Amino acid sequence: MNFDKLIDHFKLDKQEFYFQFNSHPNYPSALAFSDTLNFLGLKNDAYELDKEYWDELPEEYMALVDNSFSLVKKKGSDFTIYSDKIKTLNKEELYKNSGDFVLLFEKTENVKTTSFFNFKPFIYLVFGIIILYSFLQFSWYESVFNILSLAGVYISLELFNQKFGQESAVVSNICGGASNNTSQSSCSKIFSSDKTDVLGLKLSDFSLIYFLGITFVGLLFPQSQALLRISAMISILVILYSFYVQAFVEKSLCRVCLVIIFVLLAQIAISYVYFSLVASLSVAFISIILFISLFFTVAFVNNLIIQKEELKKSNSKNLRFKRNYDLFKRELLDKEKIEFSNKETFFLGNRNAKLHISVVSNPYCGFCKGAHKILEDLLVQYPDEISAQLRFNYSGGKVDEKYTQLISDFLNIYKNKSQSEFLKAVDIWFENKDENEIKRKSASNTAQNLTNLIEMTAENSAAGLTFTPVFIINGYQFPDKYDREDIHYFISELIEDEDFLL
């Protein structure tokens, strides 16, 4: 399934979305789709709703349109559909092509947006510099030849990326993906029929090597006209092979192949008419070394990405097993339930919530920072569905005075300021570990009664909770076989599990 248009609309992290969706135990179901959006911060609820009630839906919602999860945006009497493509349907067409599945969503502040660096502007900048350099340094026909080489590099790069599942808008538009899939499938059919395999490289990969090679040669060696002319003439064989495959093997035209053929033909014409045949042995030798280096570099990168994709698929399948809620619940309930009597100190969230999470921690524990961050994210994402308690281990007596003062300041902030200010103070502490800064936020010299903290620590110790951090969910210790971060995968199912919440 392709969700690129949907992901782009919400500015979600594309790589994270596909990873979480593919690794969901119920992939590729509606539940997997809904849980993935929840995980990324796009809070949602799914319903089976008869069409007669669809007029009451909000301006934006998600539905299964043409068996694909799609965002539906109402614009007057028409509906814009964001799926693998963006299209517009009227009410009758939408209802006819949709199931009863409807997903209503609410975008929260902690949505995980696209985080990776966009290389496209950098590539365009490099191309622009190369074009400017060509016109300043070379004749007009040499500059045009180099620009055609860059066009070949760009299209070949798009094909290279598309081979690993990254949709290319350029290739999609050339292949006619805007309106109908016939041309698109023709392109895919031609590429999939390519039986070339040299160290894992296909014919489209050799196109990348070729255009990269002649781009470098054309830019770096002014005496390379003869070599470029010979290279262009050799490309006639590739053109004939491509025409043969399209005309006689697959009997369909590949538009992106035709664009590359046009680039090659234009270079053949320019080189035949304007380029000289005066060759330089040194340039020829260096060029051969360059092409060989590019070949092995592209082969190495290609195999590296293939291995990465295989590992990603394998990891997704393993995670489907690990993220199975029934297995997690069995592990969670495997240990004896812990009963705490002290449940009020450092209590957070909704007091009426049926799901309660306790975090046993120590302010001076280095690993506790991550545990507190996980809890805070859950409180932000599910403010009405969960409650929580911070259970700091503090034994009193001869304990360090700085620790006593710190706990006292935390308790003072908790009692006299808002929950968000208290959590902010905890964040600041784990970030800076500065007792004086917490004291300033407390703004009080009055020592708090820490009896409840001492009793709470005794309860922790009696339950064997001396090592920190530890998550306790409704009295059950978070299983050791899972990472703490895995709680994000199960929280929505825990909230809905009536048997567990009893």
**DSSP single-letter state for residue 248:** I
Cα distances from 464 to residues 40, 60, 330, 331, 338, in angstroms, run 34, 50, 21, 18, 10
Q: Give the torsion through C-alpha atoms of 329, 331, 335, 336, to 10 deg.
A: 10
The CATH number of the domain covering residues in 335-501: 3.40.30.10
121 CB-near residues (< 8 Å, 6+ apart): none
How high is the mean pLDDT of the chain?
86
Whole-number pLDDT of residue 178:
42
Whether residue 84 is predicted with pLDDT greater than 80 in this model: the reply is no
306 CB-near residues (< 8 Å, 6+ apart): 164, 200
**Domain pair 4-107 / 120-310, same fold:** no
Domain boundaries, the chain: 4-107, 120-310, 335-501
Q: Are the C-beta atoms of residues 25 and 323 closer than 8 Å to each other?
A: yes
Whole-number pLDDT of residue 213:
94
Of 82-86, 344-348, 467-471, the one with minimum mean pLDDT is: 82-86
Class of domain 120-310: mainly alpha
CATH architecture for segment(s) 4-107: Alpha-Beta Complex (3.90)
Average pLDDT of span 361-381: 91
Average pLDDT of span 167-180: 64
* Two structure tokens written together for 345: 């100190």
* Two structure tokens written together for 91: 């009410």
Find residue 47's DSSP bridge partners.
102
> How do beta strands 86-90 and 347-349 pair?
unpaired
Whether residue 238 is predicted with pLDDT greater than 50 in this model: the reply is yes
* Two structure tokens written together for 125: 């900048």
- pLDDT band at residue 122, thresholds of 50, 70 and 90? confident
- pLDDT band at residue 112, thresholds of 50, 70 and 90? low
324: helix, strand or coil: coil
Q: Are the C-beta atoms of residues 176 and 182 closer than 8 Å to each other?
A: yes
339: helix, strand or coil: coil
Of 52-56, 73-77, 178-182, the one with minimum mean pLDDT is: 178-182
Find residue 45's DSSP bridge partners.
104
Whole-number pLDDT of residue 297:
94
146: helix, strand or coil: helix
Of 278-282, 414-418, 484-488, the one with minimum mean pLDDT is: 278-282
Whole-number pLDDT of residue 186:
64
| Model confidence pLDDT, tens digit, residues 261-277 | 999 999 999 999 999 88
Neighbours of 358 (CB within 10 A): 26
Of 187-201, 239-253, 338-352, the one with minimum mean pLDDT is: 187-201
- pLDDT band at residue 180, thresholds of 50, 70 and 90? very low
42: helix, strand or coil: strand
β strands within 333-469, DSSP E:
347-349, 355-361, 386-392
Average pLDDT of span 221-226: 86
* Two structure tokens written together for 388: 């929580």
Q: Which residue has the tokens 């990873």?
A: 19
pLDDT exceeding 70 applies to what percent of the chain?
91
Q: Are the C-beta atoms of residues 265 and 239 closer than 8 Å to each other?
A: yes
**DSSP single-letter state for residue 482:** S
Structural element, H or E, at residue 78: strand 78-82
In terms of Cβ atoms closer than 10 Å to its own Cβ (0-12, 13-18, 19+), residue 52 is: exposed
Q: Are the C-beta atoms of residues 94 and 72 closer than 8 Å to each other?
A: yes
Measure the CA–CA gap between 203 and 197, rounded to whole angstroms: 8
Phi first, then psi, for residue 447 (nearest 5°) are -75, 135
Length of the chain: 502
In terms of average pLDDT, the best of 75-79, 106-110, 229-233 is 229-233
| Model confidence pLDDT, tens digit, residues 404-457 | 899 999 999 999 999 999 999 999 999 999 999 999 999 888 888 888 898 999
Measure the CA–CA gap between 278 and 280, rounded to whole angstroms: 7
Whole-number pLDDT of residue 231:
92
Structural element, H or E, at residue 34: helix 30-39
- This model's pTM is above 0.75: no
Average pLDDT of span 357-381: 91
Find residue 98's DSSP bridge partners.
65
